[in-house]
Amino acid sequence: MRILTRAATAALLGGLLAACATPAPPLRTASTDPVVLVSLDGFHPDYLDPSRTPHLSRLARDGVRAAWMNPSYPSLTFPNHYTVVTGLRPDRHGIVQNTMRDPALGGFSLRNREAVSDGRWWGGEPIWVTAKKAGLPNATMFWPGAEAAIGGVRPDRWQPFDYEVTIEQRVDTVVGWMREPVATRPRITTLYFEHVDKAAHDAGPQSPEALAAVRTLDAAIGRLLDGLRAGGVDDEVNLVIVSDHGMAAVPLRNAVATEDMVDPALATPVSSGQSLGFAPVAGREREAEAALLGRHARYECWRKGELPARWHYGRHPRVPPIVCQMDEGWDAGSREWLQRRDRDGVRGSHGFDPALPSMRAVFIAHGPAFRRGVTLPAFDNVDVYPLLARLVGVAPVPNDGDPRTLAPALSD
């Protein structure tokens, strides 16, 4: 009897140890309910107001919303959109800036179509690639990274980004996909709108133009909901609505010329705006550092390996040797660029410290997978990816997110 007890005890202990040593399998869902991931570029949580955004406000009230979502550093469009779909911070997935350089690949910018469509720039694995590898239909109606064959894999349905594709065309295309039979209906779809970001950049985040764009996109969400309802699939689709960052007001006179930050003979600017990178000229490193490093009147600069730890930034080879962060409300650019822009009025900018309230992003989720009437505390945008993987029903690839963060949002 004693021998049996010891054996049973040993077996039980071995099982417990094995369970502790082996990570728990990822939470999966057997549902075929599709997921539509919507980006409202530049949409700050404070834009939500029932009188201005009735459709978005209703989704937030009846579903799940976060107090706000924290963007990753730098708080720019391409780095943060790609973080949402990979769960990796920019320092890990390699899209470290909207404008960057790579010794092997050359230059990258938002308008460089050749670079944007080159899969070698895009590290990690976006959710549509994981879905495709699992044999699940997928589609993108624009999203940074969707134009490239990442790891040799493209979305099932995609097209180059085109400003001329109207809001209505984008919405109606996605509605058409959602009405397809389950066998072909995309399990994960992205839908992107740049309109608030553009209006806020041009005229300021609280300008009549920006607020009009907010109302226009709320109407687009209403059109999406009406289309799903008319197709009889409104109770099947899980909507996850996010933005990449917020926006701060910048008086046009608040600008610093990069030539005044450091002599071009000492360092070359790799990126400008609010989060700037400089590459010292060979042999002039000490002089460049002496000019740039430390606190200045409107900005602060660090060596890439000495940036604030909370930014999780500075290890990737594409991060320039010196990074400068502008203070909120200040831009930086070449003297030639500054001379071309007006000196009066206000514009909008982002790329400032992600901890600033002005940089906060929005998160709303609604659908059969989500609880109703839940407000979550603020969280980092890397945590969206584990949620997407669970909703789509795929095992998440390695990422920086925490699946526990958004678990309280789920109905099961």
pLDDT of residue 343: 76
Greater pLDDT, 289 or 22 = 289
Q: Does residue 77 have an active-site annotation?
A: yes
Supply 83's token pair.
């973080």
7 belongs to a structural domain:
no
> At 184, is the secondary structure helix, strand, or coil?
coil
CA atoms within 13 A on the CB side of 312: 19
Note the residue count of the chain. Answer: 412
CATH number for 141? 3.40.720.10
Number of domains within the chain: 2
| Across 34-48, 234-248, 319-333, 339-353, least confident range | 339-353
Q: Is the model more confident about 31 or about 183? A: 183
Report the candidate in 43, 122, 124 with the shortest Cα–Cα distance to residue 78: 122
Per-residue pLDDT, 20: 34
Neighbour-count burial for 116-142, b at 16+ CB within 10 Å, e otherwise:
bbbbebbbbbbbbbbbbeeebbbbbbb
**Do 72 and 89 touch, CB atoms closer than 8 A?**
yes
The SS3 assignment for 275 reads strand
Residue 12 has pLDDT above 80, yes or no: no
Listed residue (173, 165, 164, 166) closest to 227, CA to CA: 173
Q: Identify whether residues 153 and 44 lie together within a single domain.
A: yes
Q: Is 16 domain-assigned?
A: no
> pLDDT class for 226, splitting at 50, 70, 90?
very high
Do 84 and 160 belong together in one domain? yes
Tell me whether residue 28 is in a domain: no
User: Which residue, 245, 269, 316, is CA-closest to 94?
Assistant: 316
| Percentage of the chain lying above the pLDDT 90 cut | 89
**pLDDT 10s digits, 193-216:** 999 999 999 999 999 999 999 999
My answer on whether 240 and 128 are in the same domain is yes
Share of the chain above pLDDT 70, in %: 93
CA-closest candidate to residue 226, choices 178, 185, 192: 178
User: Hey, which residues does 294 pair with through a beta bridge?
Assistant: 301
Annotated catalytic residue within 5, 32, 77, 189: 77
Could you give the CA distance from residue 197 to residue 81 in angstroms, rounded to a whole number?
A: 13
Q: How far apart are CA 307 and CA 262, in angstroms?
A: 19
Q: Is the dihedral of CA 82, 86, 92, 94 positive or negative?
A: negative
The answer to whether residues 167 and 266 belong to one domain is no
Q: Are residues 122 and 166 in the same domain?
A: yes
Query: pLDDT tens-digit profile of 115-161?
Result: 999 999 999 999 999 999 999 999 999 999 999 999 999 999 999 99
Residues 263 and 240 in one domain: no
- CA atoms of 54 and 58, how far apart (whole Å): 6
One domain for residues 143 and 239? yes
Residue 22 lies in a domain: no
Instruction: Take residue 215 and report the two structure tokens written for it.
Output: 């109302």
Q: Other C-beta atoms within 10 Å of 355: how many? A: 14
The number of helix segments (H) and strand segments (E) in the chain equals: 13, 20
**Does 30 score more than 90 pLDDT?**
no
Backbone angles phi, psi at 150, to 5 degrees: -90, 120
Cα 241 to Cα 339: distance, rounded to the nearest angstrom: 38
Give the CA radius of gyration of the chain.
Answer: 23
> What pLDDT is attached to residue 338?
87
Verify that 97 and 124 share a domain, yes or no: yes
Find the mean pLDDT for residues 324-342. Answer: 92
54-62 and 208-230 helices, crossing angle to 10°:
60
Full-model pTM: 0.92
Quick one: pLDDT band at residue 269, thresholds 50, 70, 90?
very high
With cut-offs at 50, 70 and 90, classify the pLDDT of residue 341: confident
On whether both 264 and 386 belong to a single domain, the answer is: no
Q: Which amino acid is at 352?
A: F
Q: Do 180 and 308 reside in the same domain of the chain? A: no
* Same domain for 312 and 359: no
Domain endpoint, select from 314, 344, 374: 344
Its domain, for residue 150, covers: 35-248+354-409
Give the C-alpha separation, 63 to 31, whole Å: 19
CATH code: domain of residue 274? 3.30.1360.180
pLDDT at 386: 98
Whether residue 278 lies inside any domain: the answer is yes
Nearest Cα neighbor of 219 from 153, 168, 253 is 168
Question: Is residue 185 assigned to a domain?
Answer: yes
CA-nearest of 252, 336, 353, 350 to 299 is: 353
Residue 13 within any structural domain of the chain:
no
Are residues 198 and 301 both part of a single domain? no
What integer best gives the mean pLDDT of the chain? Answer: 92
